[in-house]
Structure 1
Amino acid sequence: MPADLAVIGLGHIGLPLAQAAVGVGIHTVGYDTDPRPFAELSAGRTPVEGSLSASDIRRMVSGGFRPTADPAELGRVRTAAICAPTPLGPDRTLDLGAVTDAARALAARLRPHTTVLVESAVPPGTTENVVRPLLEEGSGLRAGRDFHLAHSPGRLDPGNRTHVYGNTPKVIGGLTPACTESAAAFYGRLTDKVVRARGPREAEMTKVLETNFRHVNIALVNEMAVLCHDLGVDLWDVIRCAETKPFGFEPFRPGPGVGGHGAPVDPGYFPYNSRTPGHPLRMVSLAKEINDRMPSYVIQRCATLLNEHGKSVRGARVLLLGVTYKPDLADQEASPAREIATRLMDMGAQIGYHDPLVLDWRVRDLPVPRADSLYEAAAGADLTVLLQHHRTYDLQGLAVKAQLLLDTRGATPAGAAHRL
């Protein structure tokens, strides 16, 4: 049966879109310029940790989802969504390589009247200045006249059971009003509310604002954590009190670092053309600097606690609990756990870990010993460090068993452990 939708990029953005589309009866094909996701999906496995489970994939396939390695399938749909990843490169710019590959693959097969959606996280102007020319040159068609083109930023919170695809408003910015309405007609089948942006750049910049909002506020509360510790103030009680304010405040909580797929984006590093120079957001750069320091601060606290109990980091047995970037999710993307483990190893500590969702964990390509019995491991470790609070952890019981417990998430009962 011909598909109505092609999702190009089968990762953290594309798979949830495909799942939502299949859920409302849209026949969907999934294509990726990287052959590995196709191989994993064909075997009934999820190609990315923390996205969809194997049972989710099986339900999608039975509901009409079809992964394909044939790019010809892209020319048989009415709607195509580019959901390729845009990782942050070493120069702090977003790598658009996968997006341009996806656009070229689609352009060679693009038919008139197709609606093309860009969901990848991209710098403002990318849909118009990068994707549009590739589609037009490769197809001979003109965006806004022969086919519709719009941007709709991904807006997902993996593991969130309250805010799911169907009840999270979808922002849409089309190249023309007709492009916006075509995209709105599609997304209106998937979500309860569609929000029309003025254009693609406004839609793209929405993602920049949302992502940076998170990082800046986490940086603020991370700085507060360091200050409160130095002053002997219980930050967690401060947050508890502050969040009772019914206006003008949103609670954020500190941690050992910031993980996830939404990297802070500084417009000073956007690939602007010469007519529109980039203007750096100093607050975003500072927030990144603060958040990047948190793993070092955790190491400092570990060393201080061990020293206060007559031990040094060298030779100490340190147990790390929770190595994923988010609670109750297997995804390890940008988790600070790996950097913390690396630094402790460099200082001569003996590292072990426990995570109910991660059965094999490697640091510097070397396997880290996994604790089979959490309580026994905590009792035998000189220091136990809670890096991620999974719901299966009994922290009160753990605090009793552990020789020394550092809680970087403020999840243990007051007085039961040393908090960040």
Structure 2
Amino acid sequence: MDDLTGVEVAVWGLGLIGYSLGGELARVGQRCLIADIDTERVARLNAGELPFQHLPELPHSYREEVRAGLLRATSEPAELLGADHPVHVLCIPTERAGQIDDSVLRAVVGRIATESAARPLHLVIESTIAPGWIDSIVHRTMAGAGLRHGTDYHVGASPRRDWLTAPGHTMASLPKIIGADSPAGLQLLRALYSPICTEVLEAPDARHASLVKVVENYYRYRGILLANELGSALPDYDVASVLRLAGTKWNMPEYHPSLGIGGYCVPLAKDYLAAENGLEPLAAELHAAEEKLFTDTRNALRAHGSFRTVGVLGLAYAPGMKVHTRSPTVRLAHELAGQGARVLVHDPLYSDEEIESITGAQPLRFPDGLSDCDGVVLMTGHQEYLDITPAELSVHLGTAECVVDNLGLWRGRVPASGPQYLEVGGPGFYAGGRPGRAPGQGIDRDREFLAALPVEQVAAAVRRVTSLDRRHLTLELAGAARTIPQVADHVAELLGRRVESWSTADLRLVCALYAVGRAGVRLEQVGVSAELEVVTARLGELHADYLAALARVGDSAGQTGPGAADHPWWEVADALPALRDRIDRHYSRILEIDGQSYHRRELLLPAEEFAAGALPEGLAKELTDRHPGTVLPPATEVSALLRAATLAELDRHGHPMGLLETIMAAAVADPRHPSDHATLMCPRGTRIDRPGTFEKDDFGIYVVFNPAFRPSQYPGVGDLRSIRKAMYAHHAAKKARVAKKAGGAGEHGAPPAAPEDLGARGLYVNEHAHHRGHVVAGVTTALRSLMDIDVATPDAVTEVRGLTDWRLSRAGTRTEDRYRLHEYPSFHAYGRWIKVVVETALGAGCVLPAMLGEW
């Protein structure tokens, strides 16, 4: 196809890529129809308006093209699947919650393959993808629908190059890379792009065209990492100035040390590349290096002062763009707040409510609010920050002690008579704030300390860290990424030798693992790092958090422990378990788990907020209505009512599943925490006296959906049957592994122990999907409670620890979809009520079914 006259090009996705492509094609007379599930965006475009508000003003509004009928949008994808739409350009998201995600690509290609009436079909991919997806997803899906490549369909790729933040560039001015898997596909790409791009360059095929974009982003990613590596390795140099000067060379781009990498593309370049066969370890190795470098940089920042009030300027990851995906500001704000600082954040593109929701910080008024801060961190180069004059800075920074400039944007503008000015990577930034201590300092002291300990004490602490089932984690060892079992084997070999014979690197590795084990935390709570400086800093932050929390409730006993700043790392590690015990008297510890990085942080909620409450009126009525004529205790006696109702269910039905479903349905619909679905995972009652021998079939997985939940609204989420199946397939097997590991060989009756890093209520929350099973199941964010149950039979009481999991889940990825702290107490109350039903049923000898409803 070398002529698109009379053809309306079908574009999938009304983001920046789809909108600007459709608009530019319409400007040269090519009709375009854009499909998107966001009805608001569709309505805006059809009204001649910009469909989104989070990006800079575009060179053209395309209003005239809309009026002329050349550009239109629809929220009904079926409109694109008729015989009159043979050309499909995919401008769809391939990132979700900060991770690469192929689910939308699979869904769209699958729909085109099975529903489009056009022949031949031309598929053009503008989205950034892993090159291997061309074969593993696109060709495989088309072939699976019975379509023949080269006859029934053609595939091409032309991944978009970003130009919004590059002054003077437009879509037309940037060379356009195209590649296709057939001559006809290449012909179509030339016809499509030549009218709107000045220069069109051909790659060997679609995979190579896709790889060009990945490599461009990967080069930039490695350049940013290298800038930080140089800054950390050369603390006595002004590396930022060196890199600026080096960037004047005609063939060398300029990079700058910074506090993190944000955005959709550059941070994920390693992951798109690592999707190729054999490159999987690359992403893990680079993630570990990235985490260490940016942790070192943030620690260097904090070493320049114990700021009481910190103003952070810029939430968006790039100037002029309302996008905070992977924004370094979010993590920095959390860490500073965790140290006890009052954090204020400003960004001209975000409302006060959005700033509070995203960062947990208070909004800052710029520039007047700077006068309330003793520390200021400039993160993003918004024009509003660049326009402020040195004289204005002098007035508003009057009380500040230090200004940290992430990218050197205020270099030379902060008055010399004012606060200390530090550019990340600039003079004195790393030298004055190297994390922990300089290499070599204290090594002899560490070696002496470790050598004096019983070997079994060290081994036990390390085993606590390395024995958990976390096959997804890697640590850096001898310059390469190693799995946790490989690290455990290496440490076991070291412990068979004298400490004096260990290398410095091995000594620091064992010290770090020993500190984590003694502190009673997981690697995920110290940044998935075995770097002693990183571990020391993270334990110190947790130590400070605990002391501040105890001070808030007037508990001064914890204040007598060692301070993180002036005591050896092992004393801080040893002090944490005792502080945690005191914390658990006053607070409920809630563990927040990030599915992108697996990092964990603790949230504290006052224990009194979890006081036992009455059943909601509607739920109490439902329970009594289920058994007319049966005398039940009053609703105020919650446990007695639930036990009586459970026994009544057993008498009538032989199981309590109807009662459980009623409680779970009430939890899903409760306006205090409305959710998409609820899940209960618990022992079924088979071999209940021997939990250490549980197999997959000994667990039941029960899912109840909110009637308003529509899985098709969310990319990659399966139907209700698929969700139930995905939850059972993953979690029943996982629970069985946990049970056997805890039971141990020869101790099959031993009850599994709950993880030590969870608080007394076993509460935690997942943010972002951990794996594809979570995506299919619509679990983007989840409230979870790992419950203990005590099964009382006439012969004995069996304690089953950590194998009953109660959760509420939401599938949405918006910030407002995240669960909030105030939702935990009522969620936990439903868990207590479910626990009564399960314990009563199992104690009566009931064996629960494996599933609730049919697959």
Does the 8 Å CA contact 1:319/1:351 hold for their aligned counterparts?
yes
Cα deviation for residue 222 of structure 1 reads: 1.4
Range moving further from structure 2, 203-212 or 155-164: 155-164
Cα deviation for residue 136 of structure 1 reads: 4.7
Matching of residue 38 in structure 1 with residue 42 in structure 2: yes
Cα deviation for residue 418 of structure 1 reads: 1.2
Matching of residue 85 in structure 1 with residue 93 in structure 2: yes
Counterpart of 1:309 in structure 2 is none
Secondary structure (helix, strand or coil) at the match of 2:214 reads helix
Partners in 1 of 2:130 and 2:138 — Cα distance? 12
Matching of residue 200 in structure 1 with residue 206 in structure 2: yes
Q: 2:317 aligns with which of 325, 342, 351?
A: 325
Partners in 2 of 1:84 and 1:35 — Cα distance? 16
Matching of residue 4 in structure 1 with residue 11 in structure 2: no
Cα deviation for residue 254 of structure 1 reads: 2.2
Partners in 2 of 1:368 and 1:344 — Cα distance? 10
Cα distance per residue 1:270-328 (max 9 Å; x no partner): 2x6xxxx423474x65544444445534542342222xxxxx34xx1111101111122
Query: 1:174–1:25: structure 2 CA closer, same or farther, 3 Å change rule?
Result: same
Cα distance per residue 1:135-170 (max 9 Å; x no partner): 3544x5423113332111121233323222111112
1:197-276 equivalences under 5 Å are 197-228=203-234, 230-231=235-236, 233-247=237-251, 249-262=252-265, 263-266=268-271, 269-270=274-275
Look up the equivalent residue of 1:296 and give its one-letter code: T
Does the 8 Å CA contact 2:13/2:35 hold for their aligned counterparts?
yes
Query: 1:321–1:192: structure 2 CA closer, same or farther, 3 Å change rule?
Result: same
Higher relative contact order (CA 8 A, sep 6+): 1
Secondary structure (helix, strand or coil) at the match of 2:331 reads helix
Cα deviation for residue 122 of structure 1 reads: 1.7
Counterpart of 2:21 in structure 1 is 17
Q: 2:125 aligns with which of 111, 114, 118?
A: 118
Counterpart of 2:295 in structure 1 is 296
Secondary structure (helix, strand or coil) at the match of 1:384 reads strand
Does the 8 Å CA contact 1:173/1:199 hold for their aligned counterparts?
yes
Partners in 2 of 1:20 and 1:120 — Cα distance? 17
Secondary structure (helix, strand or coil) at the match of 1:13 reads helix
Structure 1 unaligned spans of 5+: 307-311
1:98-117 equivalences under 5 Å are 98-107=104-113, 108-117=115-124
Counterpart of 2:802 in structure 1 is none
Q: 2:407 aligns with which of 406, 409, 414?
A: 409
Range moving further from structure 2, 63-72 or 204-213: 63-72
Counterpart of 2:603 in structure 1 is none
Range moving further from structure 2, 26-35 or 66-75: 26-35
Cα deviation for residue 261 of structure 1 reads: 1.3
Query: 1:362–1:379: structure 2 CA closer, same or farther, 3 Å change rule?
Result: closer
Range moving further from structure 2, 46-55 or 394-403: 46-55
Partners in 2 of 1:34 and 1:137 — Cα distance? 29
Cα deviation for residue 111 of structure 1 reads: 0.4
Cα deviation for residue 194 of structure 1 reads: 1.2
Does the 8 Å CA contact 2:172/2:198 hold for their aligned counterparts?
yes
Cα distance per residue 1:391-411 (max 9 Å; x no partner): 222263464232121111111
Cα distance per residue 1:364-396 (max 9 Å; x no partner): 557643333x23211221111001122222263
Counterpart of 2:66 in structure 1 is 61
Q: 1:370 aligns with which of 349, 363, 383?
A: 363
Counterpart of 1:73 in structure 2 is 79
TM-score by length of 2: 0.43
Q: Percent identity?
A: 25
Look up the equivalent residue of 1:413 and give its one-letter code: R
Counterpart of 2:196 in structure 1 is 190
Partners in 2 of 1:297 and 1:279 — Cα distance? 27
Partners in 2 of 1:48 and 1:114 — Cα distance? 33
Partners in 1 of 2:253 and 2:63 — Cα distance? 38
Does the 8 Å CA contact 2:240/2:257 hold for their aligned counterparts?
no
Does the 8 Å CA contact 1:170/1:193 hold for their aligned counterparts?
yes
Range moving further from structure 2, 63-72 or 186-195: 63-72
Partners in 2 of 1:81 and 1:51 — Cα distance? 24
Q: 1:337 aligns with which of 329, 332, 341?
A: 329
Look up the equivalent residue of 1:319 and give its one-letter code: G
Cα distance per residue 1:228-250 (max 9 Å; x no partner): 4x21x222321232123234x22
Query: 1:362–1:220: structure 2 CA closer, same or farther, 3 Å change rule?
Result: same
Look up the equivalent residue of 2:178 and give its one-letter code: I
Look up the equivalent residue of 1:237 and give its one-letter code: S
Query: 1:397–1:215: structure 2 CA closer, same or farther, 3 Å change rule?
Result: farther
Range moving further from structure 2, 404-413 or 355-364: 355-364
Cα distance per residue 1:175-232 (max 9 Å; x no partner): 112211211211112211111111111112212211111100110011222334x21x
Does the 8 Å CA contact 1:322/1:389 hold for their aligned counterparts?
yes
Higher helix share: 2
Matching of residue 133 in structure 1 with residue 140 in structure 2: yes
Range moving further from structure 2, 397-406 or 330-339: 397-406
TM-score by length of 1: 0.85
Structure 2 unaligned spans of 5+: 1-5, 415-420, 425-855
Cα distance per residue 1:340-364 (max 9 Å; x no partner): 1111122221111222222343355
Look up the equivalent residue of 2:131 and give its one-letter code: P
Counterpart of 1:142 in structure 2 is 148
Secondary structure (helix, strand or coil) at the match of 1:49 reads coil
Aligned residue pair count: 400
Matching of residue 396 in structure 1 with residue 402 in structure 2: no
Partners in 1 of 2:249 and 2:358 — Cα distance? 47
Query: 1:398–1:419: structure 2 CA closer, same or farther, 3 Å change rule?
Result: farther
Look up the equivalent residue of 1:104 and give its one-letter code: G
Cα deviation for residue 14 of structure 1 reads: 1.9
Does the 8 Å CA contact 1:27/1:65 hold for their aligned counterparts?
yes
Secondary structure (helix, strand or coil) at the match of 1:265 reads helix
Cα deviation for residue 127 of structure 1 reads: 2.0
Partners in 1 of 2:134 and 2:194 — Cα distance? 21
RMSD of Structure 2 on Structure 1 (CA): 3.0
Query: 1:289–1:47: structure 2 CA closer, same or farther, 3 Å change rule?
Result: farther
Look up the equivalent residue of 2:304 and give its one-letter code: L
Cα deviation for residue 335 of structure 1 reads: 1.3
Does the 8 Å CA contact 2:315/2:380 hold for their aligned counterparts?
yes
Partners in 1 of 2:56 and 2:19 — Cα distance? 7
Partners in 2 of 1:246 and 1:268 — Cα distance? 28
Cα deviation for residue 56 of structure 1 reads: 3.2
